[in-house]
């Protein structure tokens, strides 16, 4: 359990019902067969319950993956690079699903990848919170927060069986690609005419130079989501 001093990020957006009542071995979620993790403290806490369920998943919109080990990654790669190169911009909605019962809150962080020297590396990439997935557009691009983090579940007592969904937006704007530009040259010649007088002439030409970057060569960029639970007093969300 890690102390946090400041949590910034999206507000709670909406909740999605979790199936049924939790059993001691976990509770099924979605078609992937993921399960809630049961936590249980060995010591008693006055006014607290000593066990509860927690769940966290993240990824692309409506395609989240659970994080049973505390972290999960989603990738941005060749397909997105192709769209970015064709349209010179792209907006990608991301989603997180959170649940924490009892007196444990839940907080998570997002680690932005190294975009490298490919198409995304040449673009202006921003990640920022949005209230709804529909608000994830290039036109709505905001300044990226210093901390890509959020606390969707407080440490107040809860026995809720509903997931809290939050949304983030990744936008990329491509102005120029490496090696892309224009080429211009001017040539001049001087010679003597039949009368022995010097004459000159010149000409110029130009061309558009394209980049040799290929979207199919774009590396997979892993955006990592990691979460942890906390008790009241451990941090100030």
With contact defined as beta carbons under 8 Å apart, do 189 and 200 qualify? yes
**Looking at the domain assignment, is residue 184 inside a domain?**
no
Flag whether pLDDT at 116 surpasses 50. yes
Split at pLDDT 50, 70, 90, the class of 115 is very high
In a domain, 189, yes or no: no
Task: Report if residue 7 sits inside a domain.
Answer: no
- Domain enclosing residue 26, as ranges: 14-177+212-231
Domains held by the chain: number: 1
pLDDT in tens, 19-46: 333 332 233 344 343 457 765 554 444 4
Identify the pLDDT of residue 23: 31
pLDDT bucket at 152, cuts 50 / 70 / 90: very high
Q: What average pLDDT does the chain have?
A: 78
Task: Give per-residue pLDDT as tens, 73-90.
Answer: 999 999 999 999 999 999
pLDDT at 4 > cutoff 50: no
The pLDDT value recorded for residue 10 is 55
Q: Where is pLDDT greater, at 195 or 144?
A: 144
Whether 198 is covered by a domain: the verdict is no
Structure tokens at 3: 């102390």
At 80, phi and psi to the nearest 5? -70, -35
Confidence (pLDDT) at 39: 58
Helix/strand number for the chain, H first, E second: 1, 15
- 66 within some domain: yes
**200 assigned to some structural domain:** no
SS3 129: strand
For residue 141, being part of any structural domain is answered with: yes
Does position 93 have pLDDT exceeding 90, yes or no? Answer: yes
Which pTM does this prediction carry?
0.72
pLDDT in tens, 203-235: 554 433 335 789 999 999 999 999 999 998 775
CB 134 within 8 A of CB 96: no
The two beta strands, 37-40 and 14-17, are: unpaired
**4 assigned to some structural domain:** no
The secondary structure of the chain in percent helix, strand, coil, rounded to multiples of 5, reads 10, 50, 45
């Amino acid at each position: 359990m890690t102390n946090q001093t400041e949590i910034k990020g999206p507000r709670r957006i909406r909740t999605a019902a979790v199936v049924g009542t939790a059993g001691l071995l976990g509770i099924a979620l979605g078609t992937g067969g993921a399960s809630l993790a049961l936590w249980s403290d060995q010591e008693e806490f006055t006014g607290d319950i000593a066990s509860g369920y927690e769940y966290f998943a993240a990824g692309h919109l409506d395609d989240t993956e659970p994080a049973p080990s505390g972290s999960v990654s989603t990738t941005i790669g060749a397909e997105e690079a192709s769209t970015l190169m064709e349209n010179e911009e792209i907006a990608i909605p991301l989603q997180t699903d959170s649940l924490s019962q009892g007196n444990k809150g839940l907080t998570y962080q997002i680690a932005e990848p190294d975009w490298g020297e490919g198409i995304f590396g040449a673009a202006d990439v921003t990640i920022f919170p949005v209230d709804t997935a529909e608000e994830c557009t290039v036109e709505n691009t905001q300044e990226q927060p210093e901390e890509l983090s959020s606390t969707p579940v407080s440490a107040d007592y809860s026995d809720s069986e509903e997931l809290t969904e939050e949304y983030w937006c990744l936008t990329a704007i491509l102005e120029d690609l490496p090696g892309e530009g224009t080429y211009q040259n001017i040539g001049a010649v001087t010679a003597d005419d039949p009368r022995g007088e010097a004459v000159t002439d010149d000409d110029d030409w130009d061309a558009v130079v394209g980049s040799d970057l290929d979207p199919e060569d774009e590396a997979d960029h892993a955006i990592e989501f990691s979460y942890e639970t906390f008790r009241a007093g451990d941090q100030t969300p």
